[in-house]
Amino acid sequence: MAYHLICLIILFSPAHILAMDRQHVKRVVDGDTILLDNKRFVRYIGINAPEMQHGNERTEPYGIEAKNYNARLVKNREIYLVYGQERTDRHGRELAYVYTHKNIFINQMMLEQGWAYCLFKAPNLRFQDVFLKAQRLAMQRHLGMWYGWNAQALTLIANKRSRRFHQKACSFGAQTKKSNRILFSSLWEAFWEGYAPCKKCFPQGVFTVKED
């Protein structure tokens, strides 16, 4: 185990040694959030998985599959956390890059298998190139949520600063400054460039379960 930890430090700390917090996972909440034994919630940096049911919100398509895959990787297991420059989100969850003792980078793996998409937010952008490459690989292979996707024409307004895209009628999209604005012709194109959907104009997400 000591060998694996040394490998992680060397691999992910080219400029300086990052402190790695060793913890144990008590429960998997969904595809991008876990609960530790010490009762702290951890949100994976740089990705977003379909939501599970909470409050009045229904489970989004592929929410169960994303949660189950995440559970296969980390449930009841020891993990190592590297925290982001921004340590917590507005819900009080800790923001982290998550690794197993076998050198599996969980954030990247969720993207690579198609159970999450990139969700970039400054200042936690350390692995955005790695994450986008992983997402594009899943898209090309039609894995997970990308299975059976139809790249139909759809005009989207995106913000280069926030890395979010909006439907034409969305007020947030309309407020985007021209200097920050970019147009996409399909959801596929927007995701391919690493943009994520606005929660206001895509309240139920953009994915639908495809039948064989």
Amino acid code (one letter) for 39: K
* Closest by CA position to 86, among listed 123, 52, 135: 123
Whether 43 is a known active-site residue: answer yes
What are residue 184's DSSP bridge partners?
A: 156
* Closest by CA position to 45, among listed 96, 80, 81: 96
Enter the tokens of residue 202: 């895509």
Catalytic pick from 22, 27, 40, 51?
51
Catalytic pick from 93, 94, 163, 164?
93
Enter the tokens of residue 46: 């740089």
Whether 78 is a known active-site residue: answer no
Whether 93 is a known active-site residue: answer yes
Cis peptide before 123 (omega within 30 of 0): yes
Catalytic residues: 43, 51, 93
